[in-house]
Amino acid sequence: MKKNFGLLLVFVFLSYPLLVSSQFDEFLYSGFNALKGNISLNGVAEVENIGVVRLTNDTRRLIGRAFYPSALKFKNSTNGKAFSFSTSFAFAIVPEYPKLGGHGLAFALAPSKELPGALPIQYLGLFNATDVGNYSNHIFAVEFDTVQDFEFGDINDNHVGIDIDSLRSNSSAPAAYFADKSSKVDLNLKSGNVILAWVDYDSVRNLVNVTLSPSSTKPELPIISYPVDLSPILLDSMFIGFSASTGLLASSHYIFGWSFKMNGVAQDLELSSLPTLPVPTKKNLPLTIGVSVAASVFLLAVIFLSIYLFRKIKNADVIEDWELNIGPHRFTYEELKVATKGFREKELLGFGGFGRVYKGKLPNSKAHVAVKQLSHESKQGLREFVSEIATIGRLRHRNLVQLQGWCRRRGDLLLVYDYLPNGSLDKFIFEEPKVILTWEQRFKIIKGIASALLYLHEEWEQIVIHRDIKAGNVLLDSELNGRLGDFGLAKLYEHGSNPTTTHVVGTLGYLAPELTRTGKATTGSDVFAFGALLLEITCGRRPIEPKALPEELVLVDWVWDRWTAGRVFDVVDRRLEGEFDEAEVVVVLKLGLMCSNSTPTVRPNMKQVVSYLDGEAKMPEALSAPGEYEAGKNSEGFDDFVHSYPSSSLGKVSSYSFPGDVEAPTASSLSPFFSKAHNSL
Ligand SMILES: *[C@@H]1O[C@H](CO)[C@@H](O)[C@H](O)[C@H]1NC(C)=O
Ligand SMILES: *[C@@H]1O[C@H](CO)[C@@H](O)[C@H](O)[C@H]1NC(C)=O
Ligand SMILES: *[C@@H]1O[C@H](CO)[C@@H](O)[C@H](O)[C@H]1NC(C)=O
Ligand SMILES: *[C@@H]1O[C@H](CO)[C@@H](O)[C@H](O)[C@H]1NC(C)=O
Ligand SMILES: *[C@@H]1O[C@H](CO)[C@@H](O)[C@H](O)[C@H]1NC(C)=O
Ligand SMILES: *[C@@H]1O[C@H](CO)[C@@H](O)[C@H](O)[C@H]1NC(C)=O
Ligand SMILES: *[C@@H]1O[C@H](CO)[C@@H](O)[C@H](O)[C@H]1NC(C)=O
């Protein structure tokens, strides 16, 4: 009896927080504070001074959680039925790279606030590879996911889903809201803008609704309405809060405000009363000027005069001393303005993260050119880069896109290149090209690019490393000769000292594994990227193809697999309809595999590559496995590769666009990395 009484005391003591929580629990956070007990933070989550919870910053592989400090009673102890509840919260996801979020956040009901053993990346800090899908987790979550994980059957890289003990959502929908009953408007979760979300559970109708909105007004219709009885899923007492994670791609995940009510409707959150992220404010012109007519006229005159003077000054190129000694032709800004018809939208050939490319016709020579506009926030970086133009401008090779000249205007750098009407090679090999290149044409392009690279690496007075070889940087002239563009540009962004500038030294899928460890570009890392290019030209697909069958996902793996199976012609682009020179294809594929070797010393150099392609040297009989790229099978290395990206070398995001440049890879095109890497966790 006595013993039992003691036990009871212990029980009462342990369950104290439970006893204070009632079936009518309610709270409202319009902002958070860092004082103890206001909100329980876990992982890397922090309350920022402005009163916003930042679950994660944009560093890789983080978990951050914020939970209501005490557990709440979620079930009627008499009949074991889960209570109804309703919650509303305001969040924002600010990705490191504009179009690539990683990975997302979730509103969760869980048995603990710590969730020991849970992983970041696609697991959102809620599960791990062992417990995902196990009903003894007792986790109910609503995910706001910005990466498409094929492993969990995600519908896209911008969706909301209901997760029960698993990340394979029981119901999911692309992020959107109902502006009214009949019009559904898409929402971009990773836009960086504040989004309001409501999760309502009705325990009578056994229904969970999820509603989103970009404003404080709750739309009438939810985007997910999922029938489920949460009683068997929830425990008697549960913690509620948020969990977010980052992976190779990363976003900062923020919570601005949160309200909750058990057995009732949560209080509305008023966006205007919530803290906001400091954003660079746009300067507003003082427009309200109550003055007499005379004064207005005077004012107008002053304004026009200022605009005139401002324009004049703005257009005037202030030439600094150091610019005068730079090699290739220096164009005046006026010349280029005329050439591009005032940088007219219509003349735009393409654009990427750093600037736009315009088509132009030089006023004097009437020659067609491509004018690339780069902006650079660091003057120092710009200056160093401009001095490199001297070098680049002297490079001459029939398979390089010739830099004709340049022009600097404040922080903008304008580079003038030969205009190539056929645009870039990627347009001819990926997805649905208008023209299918024949094998003969492809082989000619391959040989051309190989000789351009040999020139850059070995035949010029200095070693020039391209750093960004890929189909998007190979341009085709009118005779469909391949010409390598954008050499040396990657350096510009290494000199940049502005930390907010995206630093880029390559494109995911073309990055040599050692580059991700050492961060040092070498001729060997160029050869690696060239290997990827060889394979994609021959196979007609990208190095990583999310739409492919799992075993064909990573091109190198697939080619190696077919090679070892003795069925290498299986990988050749089907659109060639079997019309190709088998001997040449074998040389190119074998070379592609050799260049893709994860060990730099095993890769051939460009001199060897060229002599193999020309048939001057005989290729070695034995071929070793490409190595680390054998994802899954040898996943230790691959995992390492995936997660060891220094921040400066993550897959290029849009970047140096040139005539008709490629789009930034979407998060979904990258996600296979994550799923693959984690098969082994
Ligand atoms: C936490 O702090 C915020 C902001 O100061 C306040 O609005 C909220 O009521 C507090 N919540 C709790 C549970 O203390
Ligand atoms: C992000 O958070 C992690 C962990 O708190 C920290 O180590 C890292 O320095 C932070 N990164 C930035 C850019 O603030
Ligand atoms: C719990 O269930 C019992 C029996 O069904 C019911 O009488 C009681 O009102 C319920 N309590 C709450 C808080 O819903
Ligand atoms: C997975 O998480 C569970 C807790 O849910 C933990 O017990 C287990 O050790 C974790 N497994 C791994 C491999 O970390
Ligand atoms: C689920 O987890 C429980 C407890 O961690 C474990 O005993 C059980 O074997 C797991 N079930 C499955 C199917 O993995
Ligand atoms: C959720 O979906 C899984 C399958 O994805 C299913 O096994 C499970 O029964 C569903 N859970 C509920 C509560 O409907
Ligand atoms: C959930 O949405 C449906 C419409 O799909 C609506 O009829 C129902 O009242 C909503 N329930 C809650 C609890 O919001």
CATH number of the domain enclosing 482: 1.10.510.10
For residue 507, give its domain range.
Answer: 426-669
Ligand 3 atom nearest to 76, measured from its CA:
1
Ligand 3 cavity residues, CB under 6 Å: 23, 76, 78-79
Are 411 and 466 in the same domain? no
Q: Which ligand is nearest to the CA of 499?
A: 2
Are 327 and 402 in the same domain? yes
Nearest residue CA, atom 5 of ligand 5? 136
Instruction: Supply the pLDDT for residue 19.
Output: 43
Q: What is the mean pLDDT of residues 349-354?
A: 57
Residue closest to 471 by CA, chosen among 494, 454, 438, 449: 449
pLDDT category, 385, cuts 50, 70, 90?
low
Half-sphere exposure in the Cβ direction for 281 (13 Å, CA)? 6
More confident residue, 299 or 598: 598
- Distance of CA 164 from the midpoint of ligand 6 (Å): 7
Q: Is 83 helix (H, G, I), strand (E, B) or coil?
A: coil
pLDDT category, 43, cuts 50, 70, 90?
very high
Locate 246 and state its tokens. Answer: 């980052």
More confident residue, 515 or 243: 243
Are 450 and 586 in the same domain? yes
Amino acid residing at 586: V
- Residue to probe by mutation, ligand 7, list 225, 226, 228, most atoms within 8 Å of CB: 225
Are 448 and 409 in the same domain? no
CB 252 within 8 A of CB 46: no
* Residue pLDDT, tens place only, 409-449: 776 778 888 888 888 898 898 877 888 999 999 999 999 99
Ligand 7 atom nearest to 200, measured from its CA:
13
For the chain, the average pLDDT equals: 78
Tell me: pLDDT of 678 over 50: no
Q: What is the mean pLDDT of residues 594-620?
A: 93
Residue 290 included in any domain: no
How many structural domains is the chain composed of? 3
* Residue pLDDT, tens place only, 565-577: 999 999 999 999 9
Instruction: Supply the pLDDT for residue 55.
Output: 96
Last residue of a domain, one of 357, 385, 418: 418
Instruction: Supply the pLDDT for residue 427.
Output: 87
Last residue of a domain, one of 418, 438, 453: 418
Are 599 and 652 in the same domain? yes
CB 554 within 8 A of CB 631: yes
Last residue of a domain, one of 273, 288, 310: 273
Residue 278 included in any domain: no
Are 392 and 493 in the same domain? no
CB 451 within 8 A of CB 445: no
* Residue pLDDT, tens place only, 259-298: 999 999 999 999 888 988 765 433 333 333 334 445 555 6
Q: Which of 145, 468, 561, 573 is flagged as catalytic? A: 468
Residue 4 included in any domain: no
Are 166 and 24 in the same domain? yes
Q: Binding residue per annotation — 676? A: no
- Distance of CA 209 from the midpoint of ligand 7 (Å): 6
- Distance of CA 119 from the midpoint of ligand 6 (Å): 22
- Distance of CA 83 from the midpoint of ligand 3 (Å): 10
Instruction: Supply the pLDDT for residue 534.
Output: 96
Instruction: Supply the pLDDT for residue 387.
Output: 62
More confident residue, 271 or 243: 243
Q: Which ligand is nearest to the CA of 172?
A: 6
- In the block, which residue shows the tokens 């922080």? 411
pLDDT category, 522, cuts 50, 70, 90?
confident
Question: How far is residue 648's CA from residue 652's CA, in Å, rounded to a whole number?
Answer: 10
Residues with Cβ within 8 Å of 580's Cβ and at least 6 positions away in sequence, in order, are: 439, 572
Measure CA of the first residue to CA of the last residue in the chain; give whole Å.
50
The answer to whether the predicted template modeling score (pTM) of the entire model surpasses 0.85 is no
Are 400 and 451 in the same domain? no
Ligand 6 near 170 CB (within 6 A): yes
Residue 680 included in any domain: no
- Residue to probe by mutation, ligand 1, list 21, 33, 67, most atoms within 8 Å of CB: 33
CATH of the domain at 70: 2.60.120.200
Quick one: 374 exposed, middle or buried, by C-beta within 10 A (0-12, 13-18, 19+)? buried
Q: Which ligand is nearest to the CA of 24?
A: 3
Residue 681 included in any domain: no
Residue 147 included in any domain: yes
Would you tell me how many other CB atoms lie within 10 Å of the CB of residue 301?
10
Residue 162 included in any domain: yes
Residue 253 included in any domain: yes
468 is catalytic: yes
CATH of the domain at 399: 3.30.200.20
Question: How far is residue 613's CA from residue 472's CA, in Å, rounded to a whole number?
Answer: 22
Ligand 2 cavity residues, CB under 6 Å: 44, 57, 59
Question: How far is residue 490's CA from residue 456's CA, in Å, rounded to a whole number?
Answer: 15
- Distance of CA 118 from the midpoint of ligand 4 (Å): 7
